[in-house]
Chains A and B, each alone.
Chain A
Amino acid sequence: MSRNQRIFYACQAVAITPRGAANVDPEHVVHGVQSIGMSSTFTLDQVFEQGQIEIYENIEEVSDIEVTLEKVIDGYKLIYDLATQGACKTDIVAASKARSDVYVAVFDDGLSHATGVPRNVVMNSGMYVSSVSYSYSIDGSATESVTLVGNDRFWNANTYGVIGTSAADAWSLNPTTNIDGTDTPLSGVVRRVNVDLEGSALPGIVKSQKGDDETGRGGGYHVQSISVSTDFGQENIQELGRFGPYHRYATFPIEVTCEFEVISTSGDLVSVSGNAPNLTNETIRINDTAGTVLDLGDKNKLSSVSYSGADTGGGNATVSYSFSNFNVLTVQGGDTHA
């Protein structure tokens, strides 16, 4: 059962370390974070007995915690990269197994910057990546959103598992020394102009709504937004004689979806035949100027097309092309962090 109360904290820094790291160092600090959400779910199991109205025992099951972080893509290390210690660059299986500790530092409202000793540090220990999504749109900054799940959360301290020092001690080296009011995005925050579609590998159908003007990196494809997402569906594995799970596993196969919204110049251009297969494998790789490369491999297939707009209200006709693959997503980027 989840809790209902909503609390806002002023947060000035978040860091993701490999599980069990003794200290939070500057390279663990996530830059460009916009907001963080934390939730917890408690499970209680009531046992009654015949002949007694009172509860026999109210048993607490292991609680699930969840942390969702969102950052702008800015040339600094991506959340997915930090949370998987770089495993996201090679394959999704390794990334699904990687564990990390997520520290969120809460500062007093009297301080100007994130430097100094935080008021409190929340530590989420042994977190697995549960879902990842990337979003590029024409009217905002490109964002990365990552949800991590686990079973242990501490406020201001931790002596859990392999970590020998408290969360506050781990933070004591002042890792946020660079966030002093002069911190700027390494590559600049990625906006629509920074999406390098000409350098990307896109399905042919996405590029089919082409116009005459090819100014910029957009290839004249009239793409309005791109979103890439996947959900690992991390499940607990329990064992007899142990309260907490001894492992979490991703529920393979994991579907990776990629959706392109394109302004239509000539319908959705998708032909469907009942006599032969209609789809072919497509390569999808999305690049931006911050060095981000979202590689979905070469076995993506169109899963749906929707055509909308062009109504009497004057709206443009848009086509949404959804592609999906299974178990292929590698993410490069943020390697320029000093």
Chain B
Amino acid sequence: MENSFLQKTLYRIIKGRLRVVLGDLVLYIYEADSSMIEESFEVYDDAYSKAYFDEVPLKSELIEVLIENDLWTPLDDKQAEKIEKDIENKKIEAFESFYDKKKLNSIKKIIRKMESDVLKLKAKKIQLDHTSCEGVAEFSRNMWLMSKMTKFKDGKPYNWQKYTISSVMEYYTSSTIQVPTYRAIARSEPWRSMWNNGNRHTGIFDKPSQDYTSQQNALCSFASMYDNVYESPDRPSEKVIEDDDCLDGWFLVQKRKIEKDKKKREAESLIKNPKIANSQEIFVMANNAEAAKNIYDMNDPLSRGTINRRNAQIDNSSGQVKFTELQDVQQDMAMQARQATLSKVKGGR
């Protein structure tokens, strides 16, 4: 991302406005302040009531329409969830393959494709939202906000003689700051110096945090996120920090590590008897399905895999498997035999 673009965007965020040049006309779209946002909900309520009495359907009622017309099914949501999970795994893969540039590029392409698939699946559910009471009301609110947010250079409200609200809104929407841009600004200069030298949430934008624009809030959140990364004892390299996919992968690795440790601690607190705690197979009593799931979740992936393999082996057997015939036990025994052989050979020297 170009440094000039990042700086331009940063100062747009700081000033809380978007400069719009339309021929010889210069307009500013100011970010809505809290009183404006508060008032906008009155517009929303009025528009909602009007739409409701005009028998415009509710958003919840549109679900049936979507399903009846094969525009969306609950399976689409499940599919989106699955892809999101897959994206997480791919990001971990990206983090782990950071130094294999060829592999990393191919993973990134897959991630982009998956993200686009998720967006398409999610868009299916909201494709008729604009025809609902909520959609109509939200549109009215946004139009009202845009009419109030757009001003001449001298600060006077624009009179909408030459350009319509829709055309300015379209420009504003197309100029929405994307997450990668926020992240790039948050981790680079001059923002980092401003952030570090300022009094964080109270002093950065010279106003209390409740008066921050949504963009300013987003930037502060990303800045805090990078603070956490820089302060982490397991901090990744600068190059990884600069790569959003790899850094997301690092976050996920850390998150899973924390979850695993938490589960381990939970398991240890659950079993006070040291003999049982040090056993190879621990059977914890479960009194409902959720408890059983939580117990199974205490296993690390290796143990979980062992359980699945054992179950498969037992299912495929004629109903009788001696403990020593279990594949994982045989593997352990083979490993022990190798180690014992090695130590015996080495010991004999």
Residues of A bordering B, CB below 8 Å = 1-12, 14, 33-40, 42, 44, 46, 48, 53, 55, 58, 60, 63, 65-66, 68, 70, 104, 106-113, 119-120, 143, 145, 147, 152-159, 166, 168, 181
Contacts and interface: CB of A to CB of B under 8 A. Distances in A.
Interface in B266-310: 267, 270-271, 273, 275-289, 291-293, 295-296, 298-299, 302-303, 306-307, 310
B322 interface: yes
A9 B283 contact: yes
B286 A37 contact: no
Contact of B324 (A37, A63, A68): A63
A48 B341 CA distance: 9
Given A154-B321, A154-B322, A39 B287 contact: no
Interface in B297-349: 298-299, 302-303, 306-307, 310-311, 314, 317, 319-324, 326, 328-329, 332-333, 336-337, 339-341, 344-345, 348
A12 B271 contact: no
B323 A65 contact: yes
Q: Give the one of B281, B323, B340 with max A CB within 10 A.
A: B281
Contacts of A112: 288-289
Contact of A55 (B270, B293, B326, B341): B341
A159 B320 contact: yes
Contacts of A107: 286, 292
Given A44-B333, A44-B340, A110-B289, A7 B320 contact: no
B314 A156 contact: yes
A68 B321 CA distance: 22
Interface residues of B, number: 53
B281 A155 contact: no
B344 to A, nearest CB: 5
A109 B336 contact: no
A8 B344 contact: no
A3 B329 contact: yes
B71 to A, nearest CB: 33
Given A6-B303, A68-B279, A155-B310, A11 B321 contact: no
Closest 6 CB pairs of A and B: A37-B279, A37-B276, A157-B320, A11-B283, A10-B292, A153-B323
26 contacts: A2-B280, A3-B280, A3-B329, A4-B280, A7-B280, A7-B282, A8-B284, A8-B303, A10-B284, A10-B291, A10-B292, A11-B284, A37-B271, A39-B278, A39-B281, A44-B333, A46-B344, A48-B344, A63-B324, A70-B273, A104-B283, A108-B292, A110-B289, A147-B275, A153-B323, A181-B288
Contacts of B270: 35
A35 B285 contact: yes
